[in-house]
Amino acid sequence: MERKSLERLIGKHVKIVTKEPGDERTRMLTGKVTDVDLDEGFLMVETRDGECCLSVQVIIAIKPREQKS
């Protein structure tokens, strides 16, 4: 993924589809992107359950979405 495209998502609510190596099914998570570290290959996302750290390599798709109240 390109650096500029991911950095534009900081502070925005997104839906992310991931697939871990070895998993048969994909996972979906929604939240607000708080930080992007492409040198290390990580994306920080704040969800309802707390903050999580995702590897850029497991991300299949990212779609911006409207924040629900």
Domain ranges of the chain: 3-64
Give the other-Cβ count within 10 Å of 52's Cβ: 14
Q: Which fold has domain 3-64?
A: SH3 type barrels. (2.30.30)
- Which of 48, 49, 1 is closest to 9 using CA atoms? 1
The pTM of the whole model exceeds 0.85: no
**Do residues 27 and 18 make contact, with C-beta atoms less than 8 angstroms apart?**
yes
- Residue pLDDT tens, the chain, 69 long: 555 678 889 999 999 999 999 999 999 999 999 999 988 989 999 999 999 999 999 999 999 987 765
